Structure 1
């Protein structure tokens, strides 16, 4: 490879590193401008790759290969330009839907963006210098393309630095600037390759024609007018914002609210710093966890408590303007509320049936804190995610819990036995009472019958004593000696002189 080819190859590697760096920083910080800048660097890599391929074909003079590769190159370039347009619209959509996004790790990310600006600057100078030394207009044009990437990087850097001073909309403006430059690059790639594809008879052996308009554009007043126009359009377009169906917008002019209820749809407001818009998802249920904390109960025991707070926006204006760090306020308020409640209750109550009551009390206390601070937030619910003793005493509490379970089991068994034995005893008592009542009635009736019979016997005896006495005597003997063999003798028979012959 010659000097020109080596230069292009080195800058392609540098651009790939820049793309990786910018996508990493964009993902880290949430900057739309950095993401747009990364895609602009991607277009720079494509342009440099086309120049590199053209220089190689020209150097080795392969005519057949030149025609085949040239046509394939133009078709591929058209598809790439379409992809660039698509990404440009995606970036514009993201910029319009993320008005005033708070960036993260700004100092670190801004340092990385500044390094990118330096790399772009030296790449542009290097390409232009080598292009002038070797007489390659395509390399010079590619160097000016890198300069455009540098201007884009500077705009992004300004947006990042502006966010440090509360001007978060500058990142949106930088994203729009990068988007416009990206669309211009895509347009140049599309037009140049369409012309080459539709007019193949033109001399394409020299890739200088691919970017000849760059060298005419840069280094003149037109460049400044063009850049100024792009910045002006980008600044004006930064006032466009979209309110989604589940959002409400609050528009402020120099800090004063001029519209506290911007309806869903596409709207326009004056660009920063004249007007600002804040988008709030009013109907979303948000969640905050307090994290595990060790609290002292009313009976001087330690308890680990972790709670989750669910809330939603009730007053959009108060929510957006009155509180800077709502999450911290809710977390502190929830911690204070639960500490007050736990400090009044026993550990047994908190570990058993008191959970629902504690959650309800905590919700009431936390809502009172939110109302006093004018947060515009309604606490939907408080949930105790964890209520447990510390690890150091957990084994003892488990033993205690097991003892409570055993106690409950014994109590339940005793209650079950009671519920079984009492009805059984009642049934047996009822049976005994019924038997006694029957025996009583029997005795009474028998006694009454005996009395009647005795009265009748007495009446019969009075009428005929001899017969009655004999009959009663015989009945008595029959009862006394029912199974004994009997011999009846007359009254005039002397037992001493009688001989009784008894045969069986």
Structure 2
């Protein structure tokens, strides 16, 4: 991660952190005052957003370090590793919400619903939508695994807030059990987001193919001197892709010309696919 990118991602996270904690504070305090389990649970979820922002700031700081002897490929995967930490936080929060929901189901408590309850939820919902859209857009623009993962985390807040609003309406209509049901729904949504983050992050850490093999083959098939292309492999993050491939050339091609051809192949792939960090071309005689 370049210094410029690190500064941009850091500034985005600080901005999102402030908003997340403001939203969390509003939900937790008013959820506690009104004894609303669903609102309190949603507040904890928002609080986890802020916690993940702090973890993210630490992660991208490490990921921004330059390559060294012990890390010849750089430190960028630390950002992906931190994304998995967010998933673990989500699972922990989901577990605690489920536990509170079970206790509330066994021992029902009165939940107060007033106009301010709806105002708090609608205002925080609007903030969550704005934060998610902003963070996801910037994550795609900067090709940041963490920002994209964190936007999904914030996105789960939106669905959670909608379920809380629905539960408040149900409680107002005389169905207090809706508060417990909403708590369960929120926990399931949180688990779903956690699984999605784990799936994406594990692909990067387990060297899942990033670029389709056929696309790479088609990109260099028309290059003069290239007879064939095979054993194409790609791995890495969207902003840090490593490509290696074998190309077949005329058996009588001079070494110097073969080297120039491999350099041209590397440039073609870098120009064709964004985010490519390194290309290794193995020359084989026909």
Q: TM class, shorter-chain normalised?
A: 0.5 to 0.7
- What displacement does 1:9 show? 1.8
2:122 aligned to which of 110, 114, 126: 114
Match in the other structure for 2:8: 3
- What displacement does 1:97 show? 2.2
Match in the other structure for 1:124: 132
**Aligned: 1:97 with 2:102:** no
- What displacement does 1:133 show? 3.9
Tell me, which stretches of 5 or more residues in structure 1 are unaligned?
A: 210-504
**Aligned: 1:14 with 2:19:** yes
- Deviations along 1:274-317, one digit per CA (max 9) or x if unpaired, are xxxxxxxxxxxxxxxxxxxxxxxxxxxxxxxxxxxxxxxxxxxx
Mapped contact 1:78–1:193 kept (Cα < 8 A): no
- Deviations along 1:420-475, one digit per CA (max 9) or x if unpaired, are xxxxxxxxxxxxxxxxxxxxxxxxxxxxxxxxxxxxxxxxxxxxxxxxxxxxxxxx
- What displacement does 1:61 show? 2.6
RMSD over aligned Cα, in angstroms? 3.8
Mapped contact 1:74–1:194 kept (Cα < 8 A): no
Aligned-partner Cα distance in 2 for 1:204–1:27: 47
**What are the equivalent positions in structure 2 for 1:411-430 lying under 5 Å apart?**
none
Aligned-partner Cα distance in 2 for 1:62–1:95: 52
**Aligned: 1:180 with 2:188:** yes
**Aligned: 1:86 with 2:95:** yes
Aligned-partner Cα distance in 2 for 1:153–1:128: 19
Match in the other structure for 1:163: 171
Mapped contact 1:88–1:183 kept (Cα < 8 A): no
1:23 aligned to which of 24, 28, 39: 28
Aligned-partner Cα distance in 2 for 1:127–1:60: 23
- What displacement does 1:155 show? 1.1
1:58 aligned to which of 55, 60, 63: 63
Aligned-partner Cα distance in 1 for 2:131–2:137: 10
**Aligned: 1:144 with 2:152:** yes
Mapped contact 1:127–1:143 kept (Cα < 8 A): yes
TM-score of the two chains, using structure 2 as the length reference? 0.57
- What displacement does 1:41 show? 1.9
Aligned-partner Cα distance in 1 for 2:191–2:208: 28
- What displacement does 1:36 show? 1.8
Secondary structure (helix, strand or coil) at the match of 2:64 reads: helix
**Aligned: 1:34 with 2:25:** no
**What are the equivalent positions in structure 2 for 1:469-484 lying under 5 Å apart?**
none
Aligned-partner Cα distance in 1 for 2:63–2:113: 47
Aligned-partner Cα distance in 2 for 1:108–1:164: 13
Aligned-partner Cα distance in 2 for 1:115–1:150: 11
Mapped contact 2:31–2:37 kept (Cα < 8 A): yes
Mapped contact 1:127–1:139 kept (Cα < 8 A): yes
Aligned-partner Cα distance in 2 for 1:131–1:196: 16
Per the alignment, do residues 174 and 79 of structure 1 end up closer, same or farther by CA in structure 2, a change over 3 Å counting? closer
Match in the other structure for 2:49: 44
**What are the equivalent positions in structure 2 for 1:344-363 lying under 5 Å apart?**
none
Aligned-partner Cα distance in 2 for 1:13–1:156: 22
Aligned-partner Cα distance in 2 for 1:194–1:137: 12
- Deviations along 1:161-203, one digit per CA (max 9) or x if unpaired, are 3322323232222212111112224445666677778x59999
Larger Rg over CA atoms: 1
Mapped contact 1:88–1:182 kept (Cα < 8 A): no
Q: Which has the higher contact order (CA 8 A, sep 6+)?
A: 2
- Deviations along 1:108-136, one digit per CA (max 9) or x if unpaired, are 22211111111101101211232344344
Tell me, which stretches of 5 or more residues in structure 2 are unaligned?
A: 1-5, 210-233, 241-286
Mapped contact 2:204–2:235 kept (Cα < 8 A): yes
- What displacement does 1:26 show? 1.4
